[in-house]
Amino acid sequence: MDNFTYKGSELFAEGVPLSRIAGEIGTPFYCYSRATLERHYAVFADAFSGLDADVCYSLKANGNLAVVSALACLGAGADVVSGGELKRALAAGIDARKIVFSGVGKTAEELTRALDAGILQINVESDQELETLRRIAGQKGVTARIAVRVNPDVDALTHAKITTGTRGNKFGIEWPRVHEVCARAAAMPGIELSGLAVHIGSQLLDLEPFRAAYRRLGDLVAGLRADGIEVRNLDLGGGLGIPYDGGPSPSPQDYASVVRETVGDLGCRIILEPGRMIVGNAGVLVAAVIYVKTGAVKNFVIVDAGMNDLLRPALYGAAHAITPVREPSADGKLEEADVVGPICESGDTFATACLLPPMSSGDLIAFRTAGAYGAVMASGYNARSLPPEVMVDGGDFQIVRERIGVDDLMARETVPDFLGHARTENGGPGD
């Protein structure tokens, strides 16, 4: 459920018509609904009531400060995967004691920042990272709280590029070695082993992989405790999928039942890292039609958003429902067309054989379920601006990231002195 609905034949975000925002700031732009964010967080958190559980929102899904701040106000923690995301989480008001730091390539500088911030735990993913952290903690005279990330060798049954829990993936420590690594970590000065972590992938629509991974985690807990190694925290990661195409998807309550069944009786503090589940349906990308083109074998609706603005279709073959901002009549004619962007690549295609009402230049469309892995993955490819982001609260909206134009991007570039001979009097390149 979301708060993007038709009212009087026009698509609104809560109480604001999307056409009004387009008229004021131009297209393309991302729009987030605060009410949807808050509702999704509440539904997810409530599913785990009665368990000792922390909800640590995954910033990689959408790190906009307004989005993260809205969740911080609800008591959310954060899952971060870079020093930059750590900085964003703290700036947005997330309590450092509710931040976990994951990722296979944390640098010494990032680990130092995490220790200085006093975060809840660092999820260690390799022997070398553990040694680096031990050295830094020793130099600083502090204790580093860690969890060992387990690679459970469980296929998440999702897209290959977002599967993270099989032997062939770069993430975590292979589960047969986890006991050995935990024993070594527990004996290290400057290291406090708090528990185990696991994350098997993203956009899971089947709960069985979760069940298999968590059972393996439970077996590891039993083995560690049998050897006198304390396990207090279990970080179960994220990955619960959402219905991009309107099809069925597991609910937070269904997911919580799996957690209770597999690890709910271990007496551990449970850490959950939802991202897409919280913010995906809370955002749309609004674009305008530039041209409608009749091709030799198909028709094209060419819009002013491109794969630089929303990469998921080009990168993953992902589908986003496309909705006209002006509501089509119930008995109106629908036409089949590919919806494409202006980028100079054939991969810049959002949908093929999409059924839409007759479209004209200037018409607005909305890409639904674009709140996760949308703006956060945008780029300036083809020397294009980065889209602005707005947040709606009831009948009001505010820009929460300005459009980053080509001039803004070029201002960060310089032509080196040794190419000065190639400049003309007006500052442009010579012939």
Neighbouring residues of 361: CB distance < 8 A, sequence distance ≥ 6: 289, 290, 291, 292
Give yes or no for a contact between 158 and 244, defined as CB atoms under 8 angstroms apart: no
Cis bond before residue 429 (omega within 30° of 0): no
> Where are the alpha helices (H) located in 153-240, listed in sequence order?
175-186, 208-226
C-alpha distances in Å from residue 411, one per residue of 379, 407, 415, 428 = 16, 6, 11, 14
The yes-or-no answer on residue 344 being catalytic is: yes
CA dihedral angle for residue 39, residue 41, residue 47, residue 50, rounded to 10 degrees:
-120
Per DSSP, 50 falls in state T
Neighbouring residues of 385: CB distance < 8 A, sequence distance ≥ 6: 403, 404, 405, 406
Q: Which of 315, 350, 70, 64 is nearest to 203 (CA)?
A: 315
Which residue is catalytic, options 56, 268, 344, 354? Answer: 344
Neighbouring residues of 228: CB distance < 8 A, sequence distance ≥ 6: none
State the CB neighbour count (10 A cutoff) for residue 90: 19
C-alpha distances in Å from residue 196, one per residue of 123, 187, 256, 257, 325 = 8, 16, 18, 20, 46
Residue in the block written with tokens 């989005």: 67
Give yes or no for a contact between 244 and 219, defined as CB atoms under 8 angstroms apart: no
Please state, in angstroms and rounded to a whole number, the distance separating the CA atoms of residues 355 and 335.
Answer: 5
- What does residue 389 show for φ and ψ, rounded to 5 degrees? -125, 140
Give the total residue count for the chain.
Answer: 431
Active site residues: 344
